[in-house]
Structure 1
Amino acid sequence: MSIPAALTYVYAVTQPTGSLQQALPTLHGIGGTPLRLLSPTAGTASDATGVALAFVVGDVPERDFNETALKNHFEELEWLEYVARTHHDVVQAVAAHAPVIPLRMATVYQDDHRAGQALTTQRHAFAQRIDQLRARTEYGIKIYLTPSAAPDADPPDADGPGQPTSPGKAYLRARRVQHHTREAVYQQAQHAARTIESIAARHTTQRVRHAPQRGALTGTQENVLNDAYLIPDDQADQFRTAIADAARDFPDLRIEVTGPWAPYSFATPPPDPHGPPGPHHGTDARQPPP
């Protein structure tokens, strides 16, 4: 019986540590396959700064991860959810033991040699970024508008005391009250956002602003802010406490802190118009790395 062809799936870039080496045999990737550390192919495990780097990789079936198969699978929500969840679990597990740069889901190469070439080509950029991420963790801040409550008291009748209000006027009056209530809550959300930025500025200078979430992810609440911050580990408790204290000043909002996460939002540094391009986070499985 022939052995199915396999591709090399790369989950993350890391700096190997004793703790990671010890934990790696207990970790598994997509399809339950074991994980391994892959060093650069040039024979040097570190760049000029002495930072040792490795890809965290595992084997995946070529029939499921070639270019054509991936295009089809990305339409299958159950498959996509499984791969995304497994990818995330691997990255989080590695982050518990070593600095990590999460790579894009479905980053695959033809084999270990091609993957090693990619790491060799990009190791300087990866080394710089992993040094910037060391001892730092991502936290998310989300602001939600809670469902608007009814006003405490009805506004005066437009037609005078004791005069019945027509359905049309009653509707318009209710819409005006609702509009003013919503405007007040939006202004409160803007104030909350400025307060959060001020708190975060005491702990970090790195923020990524994501688009607000919509649909099933938010339910009946409207998400109006969805930011990520890179926080030094020794300041994480202070940061979370300060956000929780500030949230009590905004009773009409739900302010949520998520994390700790591996630094997904900060895997690629902000573009520098005067510098070289940042790390490339993936390649067609059939092609050599750039």
Structure 2
Amino acid sequence: MSTTAEPAVTVGAWLHGVVSDADDAVLATVTGMDGGTVRAVRAAGLAAVVSAVPLDGYGEEALRRNLADLAWLERAARSHHAVVEALSRTGPVVPARLATVHHDDTRVAAMLAERRADLAGALDRLAGRGEWGVKGYVVPGAVPRTEEPTGGGGAGAAYLRRRRAQLTARDEGQRIAAEAAAAVHVALARYAVEARRHTPQDRRLSGASTAMVLNGAYLVDAGTVDGFAALVRELADRHPEVRLELTGPWPPYSFVTERPEEEAVHTVREAAW
């Protein structure tokens, strides 16, 4: 009687990020994808930190399906971010794009060798700096209310006039808030080393009751963070038509050469909150 052996599951490497060097003792305390451990793949004087993942669940076709599953995506983003955040506490890190999976360690090492100059340059640029986020939301009623128009025509006409005035005031409030958000971003970008302005998030993602008009990311020197926070408070006082929210420090998702797409940045950052 013969038996058919189960086909072996091929294991790939989910890339979390690249660092100058990795302490194996620290990595042993970090939980990676699916609750497993992480390890370093070393080549070209750099270290890529990866999680072992089965390619039947994390290969190209499987990832395409899973990335459409919001619950799976949130779990994966949280696990990925937890590793990147742990690495960022030990020094500069170049975060990998969410769901970057290599077929094996040999290909990870080849990537390090091929991109060594860019990766080493990014690590030097990010050293001693962190990413801070500033979001701005419309503050209803923070702009002068439009005077209610007068005129004849009865109750129906009066209602239409009031409704038109309300819509006009709302549109004007949005416009003023958007102008304030632009001014805030310019001021913060001048203070920061680098700045990015991402697309504002939908309310379903932000969880806010009013529209987001600023979704900025700022690379700030560690020694100037207090001044940056003070500037955010000053700008909030100067522009009461927007409510500013400062978050961070984050790993520098927005400031790497091959940075994640907009939605990937949002997913990783928001899942960590």
TM-score normalised to structure 2 length: 0.83
1:281 corresponding residue in structure 2: none
Alpha-carbon distance in 2 for matches of 1:64, 1:181: 48
**Once structures 1 and 2 are overlaid, which stretch shifts more, 146-155 or 75-84?**
146-155
Alpha-carbon distance in 1 for matches of 2:170, 2:54: 55
Alpha-carbon distance in 2 for matches of 1:170, 1:29: 59
Q: Work out which structure has the larger RCO, using CA pairs closer than 8 Å and 6 or more positions apart in sequence.
A: 1
Which of 240, 244, 247 is 2:236 aligned to? 247
* Consecutive unaligned residues in structure 2, runs of 5 or more: 260-273
The code of the aligned residue for 1:28 comes to T
Please provide the CA RMSD for this pair. 2.5
Say if 2:168 is the partner of 1:179.
yes
2:92 corresponding residue in structure 1: 99
Alpha-carbon distance in 1 for matches of 2:101, 2:146: 61
1:217 corresponding residue in structure 2: 205
Identity %: 33
Please tell me whether the aligned partners of residues 10 and 58 of structure 1 are also in contact (alpha carbons under 8 angstroms): yes
Q: How does 1:48-59 map to 2 (within 5 A)?
A: 53-59=46-52
* Distance change (3 Å), C-alpha of 1:195 and 1:109: closer
1:266 corresponding residue in structure 2: 255
Which of 4, 18, 24 is 2:9 aligned to? 4
Q: Which structure: greater helix fraction? A: 2
Q: Once the 2 structures are TM-superposed, how far is the Cα of residue 200 of structure 1 from its aligned partner?
A: 3.4
The code of the aligned residue for 2:34 comes to G
2:28 corresponding residue in structure 1: 25
Alpha-carbon distance in 1 for matches of 2:51, 2:205: 31
Q: Rg larger in 1 or in 2?
A: 1
Say if 2:224 is the partner of 1:235.
yes
* Distance change (3 Å), C-alpha of 1:225 and 1:127: same
The code of the aligned residue for 1:171 comes to L
* Distance change (3 Å), C-alpha of 1:64 and 1:264: same
Q: Once the 2 structures are TM-superposed, how far is the Cα of residue 212 of structure 1 from its aligned partner?
A: 1.1
TM-score normalised to structure 1 length: 0.79
Alpha-carbon distance in 2 for matches of 1:119, 1:199: 34
* Distance change (3 Å), C-alpha of 1:194 and 1:150: closer
Residue by residue, what CA displacement relative to the aligned partner does 1:8-29 show, whole Å, maximum 9, x if unpaired? Answer: 1111011126xx4442211010
